[in-house]
Amino acid sequence: MSTLNSAAAELIARSNRLGADPKNTNYAGGNTSAKGTETDPVTGQDVELLWVKGSGGDLGTLKESGLAVLRLDRMRALVDVYPGVEREDEMVAAFDYCLHGKGGAAPSIDTAMHGLVDAAHVDHLHPDSGIAIATAADGEQLTTTIFGDKVVWVPWRRPGFQLGLDIAEIKAKNPQAIGCILGGHGITAWGDTSEEAEASSLWIIDTAAAYIAEHSKAEPFGPALDGYGALPAAERLAKAAALAPTIRGIASQDRPMVGHFADTDVVLDFLAAAEHPRLAELGTSCPDHFLRTKVKPLVLDLPADASVEDSIARLKELAVSYREDYQGYYDRNATPESPAIRGADPLIVLVPGVGMFSYGKDKQTARVAGEFYTNAINVMRGAEGLSTYAPIDEAEKFRIEYWALEEAKLQRMPKPKPLATRVALVTGAASGIGKATAEKLAAEGACVVIGDLSLEKAQAAAAEIGTADVAVGVQVDVSNADAVQAMVDAAVLAFGGVDLVVNNAGLSLSRSLLETTEKDWDLQHDVMAKGSFLVSKATAKVMIEQELGGDIVYISSKNSIFAGPNNVAYGAAKADQAHQVRLLAAELGEHGIKVNGVNPDGVVQGSGIFASGWGANRAAVYGVEEQDLGKFYAQRTILKREVLPANIANAVYVLCTAELSHTTGLHIPVDAGVAAAFLR
């Protein structure tokens, strides 16, 4: 069993420390390296190697598998065959011929910077304080003022082989220097040991931050803009939830997106100041920032107290102009060799007094895009506080956004799962059918909101599925309209909207007609008939506003068709649900919303209904032991199979896939075959 080289081990530890603190670099931003010696397994001779964080990895979570390992002699020999800056992209493919051993990550565009600089350990980071200096109009002078000759200014150059040569030359000509400020971009630091490199990086970051704090003007974003201050928290969240479906629709015209909402002080303070329209229009500068956020955001130009209706109308107007503007940006800069336009929708939408909506192919990507724009705001504050914010120009941004290498990286991404970008809301999802359904939808790529009467159980079920980027738990009493609306608001704030709804919440009391009380009747109809109506109404409003279509699935029952004994309230409520499917399918089809149902029977395993007394009652009716009820139900079916929660979940999933894109108003029996419940 091989042991990790000590240089590589130190590199991973340093990377994890640096990446754990957001003041040092953004998620998946920057890269680090170490040089050391290892025995060549072929020759038995010592060979110098470069370990460098691979393409797309994150410093905070970097592991050995995330490192690219290259032969240093071969990598440095590339200098002799370098064809010049016009063809420097070819050098990335050449890195593959310098790799040592098997496995490991793909070398990134910054590999040359690490290999060519004559230092054992090199860090390239994207700290807000460093980028603030890098994007200031007089950044070169500020670099000298702040750091003296310990840090050298490097004019903007796109990442690549030539930048690596430039920094190597700077290091050679400035032996006193510990690093440099890369104009418009970030910082690079080095050291003879891992400790020295880390200390150099932190000194640059902290020295820049301290200088900004001491010398920044009092209002770097200008004076407060009347009427643009933050709304009170409750009002802010209510308005955000009301606007979220519209904004998600705006961000999803080219392709569906998952959303994230943030109302941090950084964002709210920026939007409350007079200079925010000018600065937002200038766009971001660091390549990592605008690759995640697009070159600039869409900014609502209305005060915080503008009505939801007026805000929606204006957002829709701005969306048209944003798309036209982005198309113009593409047309001005594209060449015949450029990749096709990737879509003209905004990834960041800013609403004064409310906050920031960010979007991506999944929740993590959406959340990180928002974090990156927060970084960009911090950068603007620092640059404006000392000087004037001056990001790299549009043409350079386009060269990176539509870089052939970036396009190749996107093409290597794995194919998305069938339900990727879809937001599912499942009621009664802390156990049984609901839990199995939530697990299935999440496994197939959906973000899932677990609604349940018990908040504790809902959150526990969500935690079993994954992080808050995948699933969240919400308390809801589906018979209460306000509680249902609160659940839907929580869903749109968590993931941007709702696309797929499963009306699963239910209960049952097994009693004869004469034993069924009015309270029994009302309870079951309130939860299943009324509850499904309330959930469908609240979520259909979101889906209609998003203009992305959607799915509503009712978990009805065999008992909506089959008339059994001691079951009047439950069976009638299930029949109500079954007809809601048909009624809503007819009504919502014009909006691209499909409404279908699943009719289970005899799902005993994990069932909250059966565990709450229904199982004991049904076992008594049929004269079997309660623990044998599932087997009993199986034997009375045509297929002689017990129906499990996963079987229902599979049916829900199939109804929501592209394969059944033309199916609505359907009920699927999942009962292992009960002839009396056949649909006619």
Which positions are annotated as active-site residues?
570
Complete edge-to-edge strand list for the sheet that includes strand 298-299: 258-262, 355-360, 348-351, 298-299
Separation of alpha carbons 62 and 28, rounded Å: 10
Find the radius of gyration of the CA atoms of the chain.
30
Structure tokens at 98: 């310098």
Separation of alpha carbons 6 and 29, rounded Å: 24
Q: Are strands 423-427 and 447-452 parallel, antiparallel or unpaired?
A: parallel
Nearest of 369, 372, 353 to residue 243 by alpha carbon:
353
Residue 482's Cβ-count burial label (10 Å; 0-12, 13-18, 19+) is: exposed
Nearest of 468, 467, 472 to residue 430 by alpha carbon:
472
Structure tokens at 43: 């020759």
Beta carbons within 10 angstroms of residue 66's beta carbon: 18
Complete edge-to-edge strand list for the sheet that includes strand 667-670: 471-475, 447-452, 423-427, 500-503, 550-555, 593-600, 667-670
Beta carbons within 10 angstroms of residue 103's beta carbon: 9
Degrees, nearest 5: CA angle 194-200-206: 130
Structure tokens at 157: 């150059």
Beta carbons within 10 angstroms of residue 412's beta carbon: 10
Beta carbons within 10 angstroms of residue 209's beta carbon: 18
